[in-house]
Amino acid sequence: MKVLIPSPLRSYTNAKEVEANGATLTELLADLDRQYPGLRFRVIDEQDRMRGHMRFFVNGEQAFDMMCSLRPTDAVQIVQALSGG
Amino acid sequence: MARATRKSVTRKPATTARVKRPAHRRPTRRVLVLVATRKGAWLLHADAARKTWRVDGPYFLGHIINHMVLDPRDGRTLLAAAKTGHLGPTIFRSTDLGRTWKEATRPPAFAKAPEGEKGRAVDHTFWLTPCHANEPNAWYAGTSPQGLFRSNDGGVTWDPFSVINDDPQFRAWMGSVQDGTPDGPKMHSIIVDPRDPAHLYFGMSGGGIHETRDRGRTWTSLVQGMEVVEGFDAANMAVHDPHCVRLCPSNPDRLYQQNHCGIYRIDRPSNEWTRIGKNMPKQVGDVGFPMVVHPRDADTAWVLPMDGQTVWPRTSPEGKPSVYVTRNGGKRWQRLDAGFPKSQAWWTVKRQAMTSDAQNPVGLYFGTTGGELWMSRDEGKRWTCIARNLPEIYAVEAAEVH
């Protein structure tokens, strides 16, 4: 499925949009980390929680559960929450 | 992998003050000052006389760099503790003095909590300490919230060190996020005894000072004589707030400490700290964050006082910045402010943001939260601003390179 990558993570992917697989967000992040080592820990902490200023959207709807189901046709967006200054 | 962009600019000191250089042998190694800020890192390369500085950076522009340290054992490996406003914490590593960087493959992280329990997550790595000279490639890291980690491969992979991260007693002393400093409770001042790699100290804000003599298998608290905020019980380890602890390289049995409640010295094997800050002028007080010790004279140490009254402004007392030096182990203190603004300068200098080099005479360096970097090449007699308009400075380290 397509995954949109926010600018803070493009030093890992070198692309705004990448392809990755997984039946859940957890699996998807594992696949992204296989392709782009180190990416997962920057957005998911060691207790498998989403980091405070990262958001995940599936087909435009915010996902709060890392175990939420995904289909190959879904579009996933990783977004940096407003946290400037 | 994050990219580090950088530019080089050679700068004369920002002030026009002329500094007479005391006669001494021209050093063969040049000073490199590492500046970690809330928005990236910079390296300042000195000429042989420490008069002209070449500014190199920014590295990791926009990243929050809490600490950047050069490995004194090889003189070329740099570690930088980084995070951003959005991204989680990591460690970047360079083995060519900053030309190229690689990210740690396993940054410091707490153990996964058992099912049903709420585990802790590292918010940022706050402190980096190279291990003993006889343990090449080994490093310690202290985090926020408080955790102690070790790498045995030059900072590529990190693991929790000793039992303290999950020890119920230590966890109680560490308190919650609300018990620490404004941007999180800190594990800091990780000190390795130069005579014995199994002998370590660390400090926690809050949570006291602790010591091991068996490489972290068992720990002993070292807070006797330390005062706490009025109204609290000094028997409660959680309320002890050491800001910065330093061991004297020329006498490893002597340590100095800048605490939330005063300046202290301890001479081992004594287990009791003496509040040498009581000898500071009353109108200045003995509150501050950094503590700097002389590389060759254990009777000499420097502090940078800050206003600790009422709502704890933590700015230069009366807006008149000063450094104070003791030359006799804290019996007397001398004000050093030549070159500083004489009024309306409300500086804050964080605990990692003041340091010395090892040259003769000793060079002193500190960075303010307002982004100014100051140095003295004569042990504090005269001060010069060598960079300004940097982001908020979190840490300053001085190293020597060929």
Contact B119 A46 (CB under 8 A): yes
> Residue B301: its pLDDT value, please?
98
Mean pLDDT throughout B43-52? 97
Nearest CB to B1; choose among A12, A49, A85: A12
CA distances, A5 to each of A13, A22, A30, A78, B9 (Å): 8, 16, 15, 6, 34
Mean pLDDT throughout B340-369? 98
CB A69 within 8 A of CB A23: yes
> Residue B2: its pLDDT value, please?
44
DSSP-assigned letter for residue B22: P
Q: What percent of chain B has pLDDT over 70?
A: 93
Q: What is the identity of the amino acid at B99?
A: R
Mean pLDDT throughout A26-35? 98
For B50-90, how does the pLDDT look when each residue is reduced to its tens digit (9 = 90+)?
999 999 999 999 999 999 999 999 999 999 999 999 999 99
Number of helices (H), then strands (E), belonging to chain B: the values are 1, 28
Contact A83 B88 (CB under 8 A): no
> Residue B310: its pLDDT value, please?
80
Residues, chain A, total? 85
The pLDDT confidence band at residue B6, using thresholds 50, 70 and 90, is low
CB B386 within 8 A of CB B15: no
Contact A47 B112 (CB under 8 A): yes
The pLDDT confidence band at residue B1, using thresholds 50, 70 and 90, is very low
Contact B86 A8 (CB under 8 A): yes
Tell me, yes or no, if A83 comes closer than 8 A to chain B by beta carbon. Answer: yes
pTM (two decimals): 0.93
Paired tokens of B258: 């800048």
DSSP-assigned letter for residue B157: B
Give the chain A residue nearest B3 (alpha carbons). Answer: A11
Q: What percent of chain B has pLDDT over 90?
A: 87
Whether complex ipTM tops 0.95: no
Residues, chain B, total? 402
Tell me, yes or no, if A11 comes closer than 8 A to chain B by beta carbon. Answer: yes
SS3 readout for B64-86? EEEEEEECCCCCCCEEEEEECCC
Give the chain A residue nearest B87 (alpha carbons). Answer: A42
For B96-137, how does the pLDDT look when each residue is reduced to its tens digit (9 = 90+)?
999 999 999 999 999 999 999 989 999 999 999 999 999 999
CB B183 within 8 A of CB B194: no
**B343 has pLDDT over 80:** yes
For B273-330, how does the pLDDT look when each residue is reduced to its tens digit (9 = 90+)?
999 999 999 999 999 999 999 999 999 999 999 998 888 889 999 999 999 999 999 9
> Residue B18: its pLDDT value, please?
45
> Residue B311: its pLDDT value, please?
82
Taking the CA atoms of B54, B382, B360 and B127 in sequence, report the sign of the dihedral they define. negative
CA atoms of B358 and B363, how far apart (whole Å): 7
B308 burial type by CB count under 10 A (0-12 exposed, 13-18 middle, 19+ buried): middle
CA atoms of B215 and B28, how far apart (whole Å): 36
CB B317 within 8 A of CB B283: yes
Which residue has tokens 């966890």? B171
CA atoms of B124 and B146, how far apart (whole Å): 10
Chain B hits for A32, Cβ within 8 Å: none
- A interface mutation test: which of B1, B87, B91 has the most A CBs within 10 A? B87
Tell me, yes or no, if A55 comes closer than 8 A to chain B by beta carbon. Answer: no
B24 φ, ψ (degrees, to nearest 5):
-165, 165
CB B41 within 8 A of CB B68: yes
Contact B1 A51 (CB under 8 A): no
